[in-house]
Amino acid sequence: MSRHVTGIGGLFFRSDDHKALARWYNQHFGITDEENGPTVFSPFKRDTDYFGNDKQQFMLNLRVQDLDGLLKKLEAEGVRIDPKRMDEDYGRFAWVYDPEGNKDRIVGTEIMERLHRIFANRNPGLKSFLDRHGIKHKHEVSIVGETVFLLIPESDGNWPKLAKYMASDDDLTHTVELQFSKEDIRNSEYCELGSTRHFGFPQPEDDYQQITYDPVMGCRTCGIGLMQVAPFRFRKTPTQRHSHLLQLNWVFDEFFVSERTRADLESSILTGFRFEPAVLHKSGQPLNDWHQMRIDGRVPGVVDTSAFVKESCATCGKSKFNHPTDQPIHIQLNRSDLPDIAKTSEWFGSGGSAWQSILVSKNFVDLVLSENWRGISLAPVRITADHNR
Ligand SMILES: [Zn+2]
C-alpha cells in the first residue's frame, strides 16, 4: 500500500520562553521531540477567535487514548481547562491552556459503542414493552414459547428507558459487547488480538493437554502456566482458504496462520513471533499451508485487574480473571520496547481453562488493516500510565 502523509509529526510555534514551555509540554503530556501519531492539519481564517488569544498563531492538536482520564489528571495538576466539550463521531474534544495562554485542543479517539445483546424466552412483559415503545426486535414462536431477541447500542434514544425496564425485571439477563471504530483501532498504541474463525478442536479431544503441554510446568486444574512442548494436532487441514488467521476451539491464546500470512509477516519488520508446524493428528504430518504463530514475548507492563472478577485455584493458589466484555482493558506500560506481538503476564478464563491476552502494536495493526486480513478481531487497549517512557 502506498502511504501518503498521514499527519503532521510536529508543530513549531513562537513562545516567550521556549525552554520553559518545552519542559511544560514534556511534564504534562510527555511530549518530546518524537512524533506523537497522526495529526490533523487544518488552516483557519486569520481573524479566527477559535484560538486562545490574538497572539496565538497555531493551535496544537493532541491525540490521546483516554480523554477523561487525562483531563482528571490535568485538573489535579492545576492546568487550566476550558469547560467546553465536543462529541463528534470522529472523536471527542476538549481544550486546555498552557501557561502563556495558548489554547490546545485535545482529541480523544476512544470512539466505541457499548452494545447490549438481549435474549428472552417467555417474557411477555418485555415483548409488550418493546412493542409499546416501538423498539425494533426479532421474535419467534416455537414449542418452547415466544423468544425475543435484540441488539441495541447505548447511543440509541430508546436505550435509557429500556435499561430502566431491564433493571426492574430480575429474570432478564443480557450480555454487553464493545464495538470499536476503525479510527479508534487505527489510533491505538496497542490492541488485543482475537480470532473470529475457529477450526475444530485440538486432538485428541479428551487429552490434548497431556500431549501438547509440559507435564510438570503449570497447573492441570486451572490451566495457569501450562507450557507448550509439542505441536497442536488438527483433525483435518483447515479449509478456510480465505482466512489469514484462525484458532482452535478451547485454545484462546494460540493462533494459526496461512502460508500467505506467514510470508507477509516474515517479510515485514514486525517482531515477537516465529513459526512452527501444526500437525494432522492421524498421520502426524505437518499441515500444508498452515503454521502455528508462536508468541514468545511478554507484555512489559501490568493489566489493571482491580475491577475484574478473580478466580483462585485451590490446587496451585494462582489467580486468573474473567476478561471483561463491556470495557477495554487498561495497561500500565513500563517501557516502550514491546515486541509487535506479545502475551500478557496475567491469566484470564474460568474453570479448567486459562489463557493470556495477546497484544499487538500499531505497526502490526497497520499491516492487518492494509492487507485487509480476514478472521481477526482487534480491541484497543487503553494505556493508563507510562511514566518511564
Ligand atoms: Zn491451578
In a domain, 279, yes or no: yes
234, exposed or middle or buried, with CB in 10 Å at 0-12, 13-18, 19+?
buried
204 and 295 inside one domain: yes
* Domain limits for position 55: 18-108
103 and 117 inside one domain: no
Residue 96 pLDDT greater than 50, yes or no: yes
Distance from residue 346's CA to the centre of ligand 1 (Å) = 14
Torsion angle of alpha carbons 291, 297, 301, 303, nearest 10°? 30
In a domain, 328, yes or no: yes
Distance from residue 319's CA to the centre of ligand 1 (Å) = 8
Distance from residue 317's CA to the centre of ligand 1 (Å) = 6
Distance from residue 219's CA to the centre of ligand 1 (Å) = 4
User: Tens digit of pLDDT for each residue in 38-60?
Assistant: 454 556 666 677 777 777 777 77
153 and 297 inside one domain: no
Residue 327 pLDDT greater than 60, yes or no: yes
Residue 28 pLDDT greater than 90, yes or no: no
231 and 379 inside one domain: yes
Report the 10 Å Cβ neighbour count for 204: 12
In a domain, 10, yes or no: no
Task: For residue 171, give every residue at least 6 positions away whose Cβ sits within 8 Å of its Cβ, in sequence order, or none.
Answer: 120, 123
What pLDDT is attached to residue 128? 93
356 and 244 inside one domain: yes
226 and 296 inside one domain: yes
Residue 33 pLDDT greater than 70, yes or no: no
370 and 241 inside one domain: yes
What pLDDT is attached to residue 8? 41
Distance from residue 316's CA to the centre of ligand 1 (Å) = 4
In a domain, 2, yes or no: no
Write down which residue in 108, 130, 149 finishes a domain: 108
Task: For residue 186, give every residue at least 6 positions away whose Cβ sits within 8 Å of its Cβ, in sequence order, or none.
Answer: 365, 366, 369
Distance from residue 197's CA to the centre of ligand 1 (Å) = 29
Q: Which residues, chain by chain, have CB under 5 Å from ion ligand 1?
A: 219, 221-222, 313, 315-316
For residue 107, what is its C-alpha cell? 482529541
What pLDDT is attached to residue 43? 61
231 and 86 inside one domain: no
266 and 146 inside one domain: no
SS3 assignment, position 215: coil
CB 271 within 8 A of CB 225: no
What pLDDT is attached to residue 241? 74
48 and 167 inside one domain: no
Residue range 74-99: mean pLDDT, rounded = 83
CB 194 within 8 A of CB 341: no
CA 89 to each of CA 92, 184, 350: distance values in angstroms, whole numbers, following the listed order = 8, 11, 36
Using CA atoms, how far apart are residues 389 and 30, in angstroms rounded to an integer? Answer: 8
291 and 154 inside one domain: no
Q: What is the DSSP string of 198-212?
A: B-S--SSTTTHHHHH
129 and 40 inside one domain: no
Give me the number of domains the chain comprises. 3
Distance from residue 339's CA to the centre of ligand 1 (Å) = 28
CA 176 to each of CA 172, 202, 368: distance values in angstroms, whole numbers, following the listed order = 13, 29, 26
Residue type, 142: S
Measured CA angle at 71 (ends 68, 75), to 5 deg: 140
**What does pLDDT average to over the chain?**
84
Distance from residue 83's CA to the centre of ligand 1 (Å) = 50
In a domain, 84, yes or no: yes
Residue range 25-42: mean pLDDT, rounded = 60
